[in-house]
Homo-oligomer: A and B are copies of this chain.
């Protein structure tokens, strides 16, 4: 039997508990402990652990699922569990993007797994195919719509004519946007996700703090009407490319033609395209957010561990630098007093406009 603890009993934690229940007979799983606030005692009963040490010190627990969110406490808990030789499965992109190098090494040293399929692209199988892929390909670029909330908003604005405020409200009502949506709107959520993919794909470590991002807060109905007239669709895109030893990673509004695969990625769906040296382009698409898609990704990682098919594959042999100055060759749609299309603008020049989007 594999005994599992869940750290954090919020939307995703509850989804994970549901998946464990669904799979418990087939894979001989048992939910043994849950860490959350004492106020959850009524709901959780004896499952509720008093603190992380109760879980880390419990030798009968094999796998810990970390779905706390936030960095510091979650990082501390992860470290304790790995040191106690428990595999950790997580959906926490903040912890993974900040600490992947250290936590992966710690897992290896302790003979356990640190798996995070759920941290990028929710229910889309993405991390594992990427890891399989780099065994036989080099990847030269990654490009993705990796945030369900903002893609939902942009879809509702462009297809149903909602204002930014209305679209945000609707996203919140439908459970896609957080009460404080700024990490989504400013692109910080995608910074974390593209950093994780970049690290795995290029076998390097980049600090998410060095990733350029420009948000969608200044998008208006007028701007979207103008973009439509010009024959484009607006998407919020994270992009990462490797040229020589330079990694360029940017998260910014992006215009695509209606025939581009990203144009048909609507609502809370996500998509990610890889450019590979032997396989050419590969694209994945699916639900990027929500309790159940994320919980299925966590469940997939648990099954990998149970079946002994998990892996240590993050091996940052390369020491690439994030290059901030490579806008040459790019075309930009810019909005000042009027709108225009211009090539090769620096980040400083771009910052002077009310709004801009890169053109794919």
Contact = CB atoms under 8 A, between A and B. Distances in A.
Interface string A49-69: 000000000000000000000
A218 interface: no
In this complex, the member of A133, A259, A283 whose beta carbon has the largest number of chain B beta carbons within 10 angstroms is A283
Contacts of A293: 278-280
Contact of A282 (B281, B286, B309): B286
B296 A278 contact: yes
Given A285-B283, A286-B282, A296 B136 contact: yes
A258 B258 contact: yes
A300 B264 contact: no
Interface in A26-55: 26
Contacts of A286: 279-283
B137 A296 contact: yes
Interface string A267-278: 001010000101
Contact of A311 (B23, B260, B278, B309): B309
Contacts of A123: 276, 278-280, 282
Interface stretch (A88-96, A124-132, A323-331): A124-132
Contacts of A263: 259, 264
Contacts of A311: 307, 309
Contacts of A359: none
Contacts of A307: 311
Interface in A288-314: 292-293, 295-296, 299-300, 303, 307, 309, 311
Contacts of A285: 261, 281-285
A125 B282 CA distance: 9
A287 interface: yes
A19 interface: yes
A230 interface: no
A259 B261 contact: no
Contacts of A296: 136-137, 278-279
Nearest to A129: B125
A136 B259 contact: no
B299 A136 contact: yes
Given A258-B258, A279-B287, A286-B279, A128 B136 contact: no
Contacts of A26: 135
In this complex, the member of A279, A283, A296, A299 whose beta carbon has the largest number of chain B beta carbons within 10 angstroms is A279
A251 B133 CA distance: 30
A125 B135 contact: no
A287 B282 CA distance: 7
B125 A133 contact: yes
Contacts of A129: 125, 128-129
B283 A284 contact: yes
Contacts of A22: 136
Nearest to A256: B264
10 contacts: A19-B136, A123-B278, A123-B280, A124-B282, A125-B129, A128-B132, A261-B285, A280-B286, A283-B283, A284-B285
Given A129-B129, A259-B264, A269-B281, 11 more contacts: A19-B278, A124-B282, A132-B300, A279-B286, A279-B293, A279-B296, A280-B286, A280-B293, A281-B287, A282-B284, A307-B311
